[in-house]
């Protein structure tokens, strides 16, 4: 799993200029978490001190309105980072 995390972090634009040693240190501290389909990871307005990097799959970023309608803003895939 460490190798997958390391390789994915190297693809994230936010980390591309970092030396491999730093990316490896980040990969070693990473805590891989698997989410089921349709799971909400972060709600609009939530405060978090985490950075999520998508190793595989897709994440839909959306906004909800009072009438429960959802508007898809973006779909992120492997290598993308999510933070608040």
List all residues 6 or more positions away from 24 whose beta carbon is below 8 Å from its beta carbon.
6
Number of structural domains in the chain: 1
For 34-75, the pLDDT digits (tens) are: 999 999 888 888 888 888 888 889 999 988 887 778 889 999
Given pLDDT bands bounded at 50, 70 and 90, which one contains residue 13? confident
The string of DSSP codes covering 11-66 is: HSGGGTTS-HHHHHHHHHH-------TT-----TT------EE-SSSEEEEEEE-T
CATH, residue 6: 2.60.120.10
Segments forming the whole domain that contains residue 36: 2-82
């Amino acid at each position: 799993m460490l190798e997958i995390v390391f390789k994915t972090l190297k693809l994230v634009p936010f980390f591309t200029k970092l030396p491999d040693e730093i990316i490896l240190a980040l990969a070693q501290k990473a805590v891989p978490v698997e989410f089921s389909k349709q799971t909400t990871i972060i709600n609009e307005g939530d405060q978090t001190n985490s950075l999520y990097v998508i190793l595989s799959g897709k994440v839909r970023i959306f906004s909800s309105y009072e009438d429960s309608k959802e508007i898809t803003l973006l779909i992120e895939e492997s290598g993308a980072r999510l933070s608040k």
